[in-house]
Amino acid sequence: MVKSALVVVLSAALLGASARVRQVPASPLRMTATSLDGFVLCDSLSHVSRAFPSARDTVFVSEQDQTKSPGKIVAAQAGAHVVFRTWQDRRRVWQISTNSPGVRTSSGLHVGSTIGDALGTGQRLRFDYPEGLLVITLVSDGVMFTVDDSSAARFYRRQFDDQEHPLRVLDRAAKIKELIIGRVCPRGRAAT
């Protein structure tokens, strides 16, 4: 799920947010491995509007087979957003992502925190490369993230052996660009 959906969700940043939409509260929201401020992954897409009344509808198109999936986008401060995305069943939220610094992980990390900050919390980091995209997981928090474009580009330009740990190559000043959580929802109906 992460592999094909991640690229599509990351492209949602290009959609922007309407200035007329009421924003997500300025106080920090908490993102865990399974929820964002009480909204739980695999809950019904219709519940997003209850939890975040300013949510607006959107549609995501899969790069692989052009399948369309509904989703919701919620405006956050300073042009940032939170994206709720369905996938196979088109009724339940399978992934939540944000580029808002107002969302915090359990260990306090947020968009704008650095790799050095993450390591300073004692987090173990897991590195994955779905479709060539650098995705790092905060293992204790269960939250994935991407890093700023220039740091990711420098990471890929550096030559390293597959046996070498990625932290020997990734700059400690690389900043978190987007936080992401997702899961495969079990078969069955979503709550309405």
37's CB contacts (< 8 A; 6+ apart) are 29, 30, 31, 51
Domain range summary for the chain, segments of one domain joined by +: 2-14+38-182
Per-residue model confidence as pLDDT tens digits over 61-115? 987 788 899 999 999 888 899 999 998 888 999 999 999 999 999 999 999 999 9
The residue with greater pLDDT, 41 or 90, is: 41
HEC string for the chain:
CHHHHHHHHHHHHHHCCCCCCCCCCCCCEEECCCEECCEECCCECHHHHHHCCCCEEEEEECCCCCCEEEEEEEECHHHCEEEEECCCCCCECCEEEECCCCEEECCCCCCCCEHHHHHHCCCCEEEECHHHCCEEEECCCCEEEEECHHHHHHHHHCCCCCCCCHHHCCCCCCEEEEEEEECCCCCCCCCC
pLDDT at 88: 80
Q: Considering the chain, what is the average pLDDT of its residues?
A: 84
d(Cα 87, Cα 94) in Å, to the nearest integer?
6
The residue with greater pLDDT, 190 or 11, is: 190
- Residue burial 87-105, b: 16+ Cβ < 10 Å; e: rest: beeebbbbbbbbbbbbbbb
Share of the chain above pLDDT 70, in %: 81
| This prediction's pTM | 0.83
Tell whether the model's pLDDT for residue 57 goes beyond 90: yes
Tell whether the model's pLDDT for residue 60 goes beyond 50: yes
d(Cα 53, Cα 57) in Å, to the nearest integer?
11
CATH of region 2-14+38-182: 2.60.460
d(Cα 136, Cα 126) in Å, to the nearest integer?
6
pLDDT at 18: 35
